[in-house]
């Protein structure tokens, strides 16, 4: 394998501690969480105690002020182990940065310390029944009522939807202003009129509490406006490159984890009196998968290097998102094939990874949208 040069010894110590934590506190229970459709909040609190949540947040708000690679390590180890129910990535690398980058000092001091400890779980509500990748098409409205906004609408496919204590809601404060009429509101657990619908029954990622959310005349105080009114779309566009890079990070890490499982399996599994790994077709397939993963890893690491130097642009992040998630699905399909019939059995991790991988090409903006972003930069 090509050695990775991004990470230093401190990063690797953090990775080792995290892997041991996950192997003890998550791996033995993840199948149970899949049956229950949610990861218990107790895991969040344990992770907070160990410093695995929001490590990049400034010390001013209780964080470690670590570099982004610490968040990358968390995403990679969760994905390699197939622990897709754990919604720390969205909490840490999407909700946290929105609040730290665009929130008021009062909002930062209110939410970030508890997000770091796991006492406050974050979510972001963009998608609606009639608006997915088209963020300008949201129908949820927030009407100015003087000292508060009156929020009405619904959201769907919301990660951490059942567990969330604070939700960043994308809403129209001026329905006639297009992108300039979008704002972000911080909606908190217990606000009257804020209701959670069913925990959605998905093809994969079954331990993840992905939910419908409803807002019926929710009075959201003006102090819960995130940033400035009408700037929501710009904030979304500013933060989306990191979100899409994170999806690529998860994708290549899961591909690596699946490949390791498959490599071990073909060495042990026998057919026609010899190991599956002795067949030339198996050897060729392993070589192909390995090489493609190495290429994908090199591209993701280059994007990480750019991002850490604040040079990652939207088109490059979009390219990483689409090409790596396409590769992830290709790798998982090949791995299932090498497992044979057992690869289709739910008790085998490779089957669950295969089901979990498919949505990566959809959320964070569909891969078709990613290609539009790339092409627009090429033709501008």
Nearest 10 degrees: Cα torsion 326, 332, 333, 334: 110
At 258, list the tokens: 């699946």
What whole-number distance in Å separates Cα of residue 117 and Cα of residue 138? 32
Please enumerate, as own/partner, the contacts of 370-379 that have beta carbons within 8 Å and a separation of 24 or more.
370/244, 370/318, 370/319, 370/321, 370/322, 371/318, 371/322, 373/314, 373/315, 373/318, 374/315, 374/318, 374/319, 374/322, 376/315, 377/313, 377/314, 377/315, 378/315
**Which residues are CB-neighbours of 45 under 8 A, at least 6 positions away?**
117, 118, 119
Catalytic-residue membership of 243: yes
Q: Are 18 and 52 in contact (CB under 8 A)?
A: yes
β-pair partners for 199: 211
Query: Please, is 311 exposed, middle or buried when counting C-beta atoms within 10 Å of its C-beta (0-12, 13-18, 19+)?
Result: exposed
The Cα–Cα gap between 156 and 125 comes to 8
Task: Return the ∠ at Cα 60 (arms to 55 and 62), rounded to 5°.
Answer: 45
Residue 193 backbone class (left: φ over 0; alpha: ψ -120 to 50; beta: rest):
left
d(CA 82, CA 71): 17
Closest CA to 89 of 74, 109, 107: 74
Catalytic residue among 34, 76, 100, 243: 243
Which residues, at least 6 apart from 324, have a Cβ–Cβ distance to it below 8 Å? Answer: 247, 248, 251, 252, 296, 299, 300
For 3, half-sphere exposure in the C-beta direction (CA atoms, 13 angstrom radius) is 3
What is the C-alpha to C-alpha distance for residues 373 and 182, in angstroms, rounded to an integer? 20
**Annotated catalytic sites, by residue?**
243
């Amino acid at each position: 394998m090509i050695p990775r040069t991004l990470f230093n010894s401190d990063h690797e110590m953090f990775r080792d501690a995290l892997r041991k934590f996950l192997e003890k506190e998550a791996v033995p229970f993840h199948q149970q969480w899949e049956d229950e459709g949610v990861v218990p909040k107790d895991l969040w609190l344990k992770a907070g105690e160990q410093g695995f949540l929001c490590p990049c947040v400034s010390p001013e708000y209780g964080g470690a002020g670590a570099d982004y690679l610490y968040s990358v390590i968390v995403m990679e180890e969760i994905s390699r182990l197939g622990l897709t129910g754990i919604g720390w990535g969205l909490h840490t690398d999407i909700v946290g940065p929105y609040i730290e980058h665009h929130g008021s000092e009062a909002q930062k001091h209110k939410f970030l310390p508890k997000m770091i400890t796991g006492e406050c779980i974050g979510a972001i509500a963009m998608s609606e029944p009639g608006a997915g990748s088209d963020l300008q098409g949201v129908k949820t409205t927030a009407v100015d009522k003087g000292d508060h906004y009156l929020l009405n609408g619904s959201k769907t496919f919301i990660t951490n939807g059942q567990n969330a204590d604070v939700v960043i809601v994308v809403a129209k404060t001026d329905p006639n202003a297009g992108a300039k009429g979008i704002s972000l509101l911080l909606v908190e657990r217990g606000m009257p009129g804020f209701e959670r619908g069913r925990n959605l029954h998905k093809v994969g990622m079954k331990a993840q509490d992905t939910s419908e959310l409803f807002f019926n005349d929710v009075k959201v105080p003006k102090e819960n406006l995130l940033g400035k009114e009408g700037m929501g779309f710009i904030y979304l566009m500013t933060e989306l490159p990191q979100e899409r890079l994170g999806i690529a990070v998860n994708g290549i890490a899961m591909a690596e984890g699946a490949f390791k499982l498959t490599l071990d399996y073909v060495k042990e599994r026998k057919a026609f009196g010899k190991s599956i790994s002795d067949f030339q077709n198996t050897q060729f397939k392993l070589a192909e998968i390995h090489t493609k993963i190495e290429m994908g890893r090199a591209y993701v690491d280059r994007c990480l290097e750019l991002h850490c130097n604040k040079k990652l642009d939207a088109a490059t992040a979009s390219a990483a998102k689409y090409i790596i998630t396409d590769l992830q699905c290709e790798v998982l399909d090949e791995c299932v094939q090498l497992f044979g019939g057992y690869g289709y059995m739910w008790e085998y991790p490779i089957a669950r990874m295969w089901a979990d991988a498919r949505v990566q090409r959809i959320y964070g903006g569909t891969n078709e949208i990613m290609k539009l972003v790339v092409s627009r930069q090429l033709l501008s």
